[in-house]
């Protein structure tokens, strides 16, 4: 059987958080700085205090709106072919997104990111079987106008990778531009099929910036799903307790989901979370702490309570090096995310609290993802796998199982994970091949995969994409 889904909240604790959230949204509400969004929601019957730009959510309106959230939706690749379903309890792994710095594979030094880095990263994602979706890894710093960094990065991704795209911004114009770039590259019908997902975030505590509100309205004119991702920081923009952090995230996320469903019932959405905890000794915001990992499990439970597909961030680390801390924080965060049943897990390739990316980190994270998936898959138990008849036939001190037909038949069953990077075997063999560590092996693999061209966009759509970008940045 499969690994039992991880939980950290009881049913009564989930209800406690839910009822506290209802009280907060009904009595305190959220501040919405977009007059147009406020007007639209007031027209739907929500109480609005125009003087303070505060929006409140009566219980009946909230329950009715949440009932319209689709529990699943299908996602397609760039060629218009089915890629996967979100909400079917099978976690999907995504790379990225929105870092700034890059670790150069040649020098090992951290530097500002470039468009060429994004292109190579996208090719690696296309090649890796563990990456289901491509988040935009960095905001490249070598573009002519810094206002257009995300647009250049989106173009670089869709030109080099067929997999679905995940992007985020707090800017209405950039959000609209990203959607138009996806439309230019997509071989399917973007008005009916999901190729890209837009992530938009409230600001803690409990308010929505004007540009984000406008981006929500723009996105609702399309079929592009919205991931509503609050980012409360324990002890800074949310209570310094995990239950308080969960409640703040829940209130902010539900406020977004309810607004969306009131304005366009049935629009695909994701219950998302990327909370941080605070090291009160240094003031550092943490994404790789064990407490954020516990919350990843709780977030998946809350999303299931509302019957909404969920997104979280992992594998995460706060360290600036590819070292043991990086590995243990990433493994804990991704294993908890997969084991809890989060539908979309985004951040492969990133570290240093999400500020830095590298090709090597992407491939090491893909290996962690493969092991987490293998652990979650559990053990297949059947007459064939128990093999009692084989054990009895060979008996005590019998012949080797190595040459048995059962062994050969099961050899490629997928039951045993075969790593791309992990060192296995005798020390002498390892030394004979250069005694390279995991980072060096990942660098070698990135060099072999970096020029993979299987995901290149065809020339006609590539021209259309370039024309679209030129129009957006003029």
pLDDT in tens, 257-292: 999 999 999 999 999 999 899 999 999 999 999 999
Distance, in Å, from the CA atom of 154 to the CA atom of 158, rounded to the nearest integer, reads 6
Please report the pLDDT score of residue 96 as a whole number: 87
Q: In the chain, where are the structural domains located?
A: 1-380+415-474
Distance, in Å, from the CA atom of 235 to the CA atom of 244, rounded to the nearest integer, reads 10
C-beta of residue 339 within 8 angstroms of C-beta of residue 376: yes
Distance, in Å, from the CA atom of 43 to the CA atom of 99, rounded to the nearest integer, reads 39
C-beta of residue 164 within 8 angstroms of C-beta of residue 75: yes
Name residue, tokens 């709106």.
65
CB atoms within 10 A of CB 200: 24
Quick one: which of 408, 405, 372, 411 has its CA closest to 389? 405
Residue/partner pairs of 39-42 with CB below 8 Å, 24 or more apart: 40/217, 40/263, 41/259, 41/262, 41/263
Torsion-angle region of residue 425: left (phi > 0), alpha (psi -120 to 50) or beta? left
Can you list the residues of the chain whose pLDDT is less than 50?
none
Cα-to-chain-centroid distance, residue 298: 16
Quick one: which of 299, 187, 198, 204 has its CA closest to 246? 299
Distance, in Å, from the CA atom of 187 to the CA atom of 145, rounded to the nearest integer, reads 29
Task: Give the sign of the dihedral formed by CA 192, CA 198, CA 201, CA 207.
Answer: negative
CATH for 1-380+415-474, among 1.25.40.10, 1.10.238.10, 3.20.20.480, 3.40.50.620? 3.20.20.480
Query: What tokens appear for 434 in the block?
Result: 């250069």
- What are the beta bridge partners of residue 311? 272, 344
**pLDDT tens-digit map of 323-382:** 999 999 999 999 999 999 999 999 999 999 999 999 999 999 999 999 999 999 999 999
- What are the beta bridge partners of residue 73? 86
Distance, in Å, from the CA atom of 90 to the CA atom of 172, rounded to the nearest integer, reads 32
Please report the pLDDT score of residue 97 as a whole number: 86
Query: What tokens appear for 278 in the block?
Result: 């605070």
């Amino acid at each position: 059987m499969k690994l039992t889904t991880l939980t950290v909240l009881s049913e009564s604790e989930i209800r406690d958080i839910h009822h506290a959230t209802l009280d907060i949204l009904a009595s305190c509400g959220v501040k919405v700085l977009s007059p147009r969004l406020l007007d639209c929601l007031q027209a739907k019957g929500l109480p609005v205090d125009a003087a303070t730009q505060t929006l409140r959510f009566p219980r009946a309106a909230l329950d009715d709106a949440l009932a319209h959230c689709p529990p699943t939706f299908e996602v397609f690749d760039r060629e218009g072919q089915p890629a996967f379903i979100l909400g079917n309890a099978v976690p999907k792994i995504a790379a990225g997104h929105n870092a700034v710095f890059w670790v150069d594979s040649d020098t090992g030094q951290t530097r500002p990111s470039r468009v060429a880095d994004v292109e190579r990263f996208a090719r690696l994602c296309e090649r890796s079987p563990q990456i289901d979706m491509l988040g935009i890894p960095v905001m490249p710093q070598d573009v002519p106008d810094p206002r257009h960094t995300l647009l250049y990065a989106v173009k670089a991704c869709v030109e080099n990778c067929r997999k679905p795209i995940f992007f985020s911004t707090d800017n209405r114009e950039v959000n609209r531009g990203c959607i138009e770039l996806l439309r230019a590259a997509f071989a399917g019908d973007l008005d009916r099929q999901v190729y890209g997902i837009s992530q938009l975030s409230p600001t803690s505590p409990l308010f929505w910036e004007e540009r984000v509100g406008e981006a929500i309205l723009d996105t609702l004119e399309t079929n592009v799903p919205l991931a509503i991702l609050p980012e409360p920081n324990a002890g800074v923009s949310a209570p310094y307790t995990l239950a308080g952090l969960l409640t703040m995230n829940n209130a902010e996320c539900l406020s977004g989901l309810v607004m969306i469903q009131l304005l366009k019932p049935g629009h695909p959405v994701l219950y998302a979370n990327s909370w941080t905890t605070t090291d009160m000794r240094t003031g550092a915001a943490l994404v790789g702490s064990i407490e954020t990992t516990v919350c990843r499990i709780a977030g998946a439970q809350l999303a299931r309570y509302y019957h909404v597909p969920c997104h979280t961030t992992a594998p995460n680390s706060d360290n600036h090096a590819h070292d043991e801390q990086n590995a243990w924080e990433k493994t804990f965060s991704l294993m908890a995310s997969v084991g809890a049943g989060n539908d979309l897990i985004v951040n492969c390739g990133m570290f240093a609290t999400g500020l830095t990316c590298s090709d090597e980190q992407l491939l090491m994270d893909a290996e962690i993802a493969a092991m987490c998936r293998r652990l979650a898959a559990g053990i297949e138990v059947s007459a064939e796998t128990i093999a009692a008849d084989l054990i009895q036939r060979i008996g005590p001190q019998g012949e080797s199982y190595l040459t048995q037909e059962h062994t050969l038949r099961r050899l490629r069953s997928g039951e045993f994970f075969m790593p791309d990077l992990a060192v296995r075997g005798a020390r002498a063999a390892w030394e004979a091949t250069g005694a390279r560590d995991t980072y060096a092996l990942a660098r070698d693999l990135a060099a072999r995969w970096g020029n993979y061209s299987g995901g290149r966009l065809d020339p006609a759509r590539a021209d259309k994409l370039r024309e679209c970008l030129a129009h957006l940045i003029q």
